Amino acid sequence: MRKSGFTLVELMLVVIIIGILVAMVAPRMAGRSEQARIAVAQADVDLNIATGLKLYEVDNGAFPATDEGLNALFQAPPSAKKWKGPYLEKKPLDPWGNAYEYKCPGVHRSYGYDLYSLGKDGVESDDDVVNWDKGQ
């Protein structure tokens, strides 16, 4: 009577093949999580938070001042004339867990506001995700 099953050699071959496949695929996937974080931050800066700021401007005639910051989207500041918020569902944090930076009037966009994330390193550098053209 012969029992059916796998031998130790067959099992080791399968483990080795799986290991080779993982070794080939893992390096390609390594940078994807950081790319995803950058994409989320860019969407927040260009769309999500920007929409809240634009709604605030429509209601109050101007963007919140720098000292009021993004908190003006959650709680009516003294300068707000017709605050109809909250303009966002929750306080925005970038994908690295830091608050977004906001300046109005903007340094880079003097006609509006500067909105940006300090990126992975948390300091102003080339990895920042911004709402202005970095070529300026």
Is residue 5 scored above 80 in pLDDT? no
pTM score, two decimals? 0.74
Structural domains in the chain, sorted by start: 32-76+83-130 (3.30.700.10)
Rounded distance, CA 81 to CA 68, Å? 14
Give the residue from 50, 58, 57 showing the smallest Cα distance to 102.
50
Beta 101-103 vs 114-117: how paired, if at all?
A: antiparallel
- 41: confidence class by pLDDT, cuts 50, 70, 90: very high
Other beta carbons within 10 angstroms of residue 118's beta carbon come to 20
- 1: confidence class by pLDDT, cuts 50, 70, 90: low
Name the amino acid, one letter, at 13: L
pLDDT in tens, 24-35: 777 776 667 888
Is residue 61 scored above 80 in pLDDT? yes
Contact 98, 7 (CB under 8 A): no
